[in-house]
């Protein structure tokens, strides 16, 4: 199995695989048939993950051993057009928006995260008509603002609000923020930091 990356969904062997989580609701609402999501934290022997509850305020952060992972779904795998068209949520605006994006050939890998990604991966109805479409875009090499023109033009015409996070080797940043301000809050494994070049790893 490849090294899990932020936003990947992981299925675990059993409840005992979850480490460092003591929130009482986890024991009543989570089971190993549900995925956990990889979160951003310091690199180590175990994988940092988050558990999702039924309510928006129910989120728990913990860790899992790599050998406890039985299945992995990446955000990129959820952009498959056939999967989107056959989703039980195909009539929902966020999925319709994802279908529009999936009909174009983009020069970078992109994926679906957040509640829409969770619903597509599990068939659990955690999204609704007003849900945002959270997207991740992989950019291992530096890009110029003009290269996002086509993407942003389509995003502006979608049936729902969409938010794009750009993943670089140094962390992730909001595409809208970068295009607007030139400086961004880069989310890294060591915490957020304000940068002007999100592809440059500072000492």
Selected catalytic residue, list 134, 163, 181, 197: 134
Give CA–CA dist 36/131, Å, rounded.
20
- C-alpha neighbours within 13 Å on the C-beta side of residue 194: 3
Q: 189 near 196, Cβ under 8 Å?
A: no
**In whole angstroms, what separates CA 174 from the centre of its chain?**
13
Catalytic annotation present for 14: no
Tokens 């389509």 correspond to 154
Residue in 43, 80, 123, 132 annotated catalytic: 132
Question: Across the chain, how many H-helices and E-strands are there?
Answer: 6, 12
Residue 181 appears among annotated catalytic residues:
no
* Active site positions, annotated: 132, 134
């Amino acid at each position: 199995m490849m090294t899990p990356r932020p936003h990947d969904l992981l299925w675990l062997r059993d409840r005992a695989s979850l480490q460092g989580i003591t929130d009482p609701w986890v024991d009543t609402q989570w089971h190993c048939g549900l995925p956990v999501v990889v979160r951003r934290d310091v690199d180590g022997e175990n994988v940092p993950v988050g558990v999702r509850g039924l309510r928006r305020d129910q989120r728990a952060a913990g860790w899992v051993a790599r050998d406890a992972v039985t299945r992995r779904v990446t955000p990129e795998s959820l952009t498959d057009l056939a999967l989107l068209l056959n989703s039980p949520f195909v009539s929902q605006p966020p999925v319709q928006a994802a279908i529009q994006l999936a009909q174009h050939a983009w020069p970078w890998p992109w994926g679906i995260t957040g509640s829409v990604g969770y619903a597509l991966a599990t068939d659990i109805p955690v999204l609704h008509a007003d849900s945002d479409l959270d997207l991740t875009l992989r950019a291992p090499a530096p890009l110029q603002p003009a290269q996002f023109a086509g993407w942003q033009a389509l995003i502006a015409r979608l049936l729902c609000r969409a938010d794009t996070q750009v993943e670089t080797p140094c962390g992730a940043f909001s595409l809208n923020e970068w295009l607007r301000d030139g400086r961004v809050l880069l989310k890294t494994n060591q915490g957020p930091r304000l940068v002007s070049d999100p592809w440059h790893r500072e000492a």
